[in-house]
Amino acid sequence: MSTEKELQAVLDKVFAADSALYQRRGFQRRVGYGRKPALLNIDLANAWTRAGNPFTCEGMETIIPAVQRLLAAFRARGLPVVYTTTAYEVTEGPNSDMGLWHRKIPIEILKTGSREAAIDERVAPRPGEHVIVKKRASAFHGTHLSGMLRAMGVDSVIVTGVTASACVRNSVEDAIADGFKPIVVREAVGDRIVGAVAWNLYDIDAKFGDVEPLYNVLKYLQSNEIG
């Protein structure tokens, strides 16, 4: 048995025990789908989606096709599509806009206008779709995202992207706090570390949003629940 399969077997046991505890205490409720969703693609930029970068994530052979199918479904219905990337104007000297994050991780490579910070061309935005440049993990923290979605009449966000343990998780936490129903697409989320996706999706589903398989989300997007 591979290390990844062994880890998944252990996690399955842990999740089963944790689910029993959570359910006894009233966790793992469902937020459900909304009437007008936006697709929120978190940091599907080259630094994360392409090989050879410090931020490179695993699973793009599954994530990219899943996002492509979601994009097609949203575009067919004229629903909002939003991307985020993380980038900084000043990455040298004492007056940077990186805060102190660069003391933990190599975010200095995420220079505004760089190839690393550009959205992967395989899931590139089209005219009329939004790209929000953020400085922090959450797509909502310090950006105009929440106000923009409210102005569009959006009540829910379908979330894809990376990483499960940081930017996706933080964005989902802020989405539900701001009054948007978060639906995270299981096959469309990645990370760098073995087990990080499984654990974070489990915990998100218990506390912050609904984690749904791609099939269910596509079925919803073709339904009359939207309107």
pLDDT per residue as tens digits for the range 210-222: 999 999 999 999 9
Q: What digits encode the pLDDT tens for the residues 4-44?
A: 788 888 888 878 888 888 899 999 899 999 999 999 999 99
- What is the average pLDDT score of the chain? 95
Q: What is the DSSP letter of 207?
A: H
Taking CA atoms, 203 is separated from 16, 18, 21, 165, 206, in Å, by 12, 10, 13, 10, 5
Q: What is the pLDDT of residue 11?
A: 82
Residue whose entry in the numeric block shows the structure tokens 């910070």: 117
Q: Each residue of 82-111: pLDDT tens digit?
A: 999 999 999 999 999 999 999 999 999 999
| Nearest residue to 87 via CA among 59, 61, 62, 116 | 116
Whose structure tokens read 């995270």? Answer: 184
Annotation marks residue 167 as catalytic: yes
Q: Cβ distance 80 to 156 under 8 Å?
A: no
Q: What is the mean pLDDT of the segment spanning 61-80?
A: 98
**φ/ψ (deg, to 5) at 77:** -105, 5
Shortest CA distance to 19 belongs to which of 189, 186, 205, 209? Answer: 205
Catalytic residue among 44, 167, 175, 189: 167
Distances (CA, A) of 38 to 61, 88, 121, 137, 148: 24, 26, 20, 19, 11
